[in-house]
Amino acid sequence: MEIASRDRSRAEQLDSMLKDRHWDEVAHFACYCVQSQALNLKPWETAPAFADIAHPEGIRRDPNAGALQDKMLAAGLSVFEPDPLSALRSNRK
pLDDT at 54: 58
Q: What is the pLDDT of residues 41-93, one digit of tens each?
A: 999 899 999 887 656 666 677 889 999 999 999 999 999 999 999 999 998 86
pLDDT at 14: 96
Please report which residue ranges of 2-81 form alpha helices under DSSP H: 8-18, 23-38, 63-74
pLDDT-derived band of residue 20, with 50, 70 and 90 as boundaries?
very high
Q: Which stretch of DSSP H or E encloses residue 84?
A: helix 84-92
Total domains present in the chain: 1
Exposed/middle/buried for residue 4 (C-beta within 10 Å: 0-12, 13-18, 19+): buried
∠ Cα 5 54 89 (to 5°): 50
Q: Specify whether the backbone of 87 is left (phi greater than 0), alpha (psi in -120 to 50) or beta.
A: alpha
17 lies in which domain range?
A: 4-92
pLDDT at 61: 78
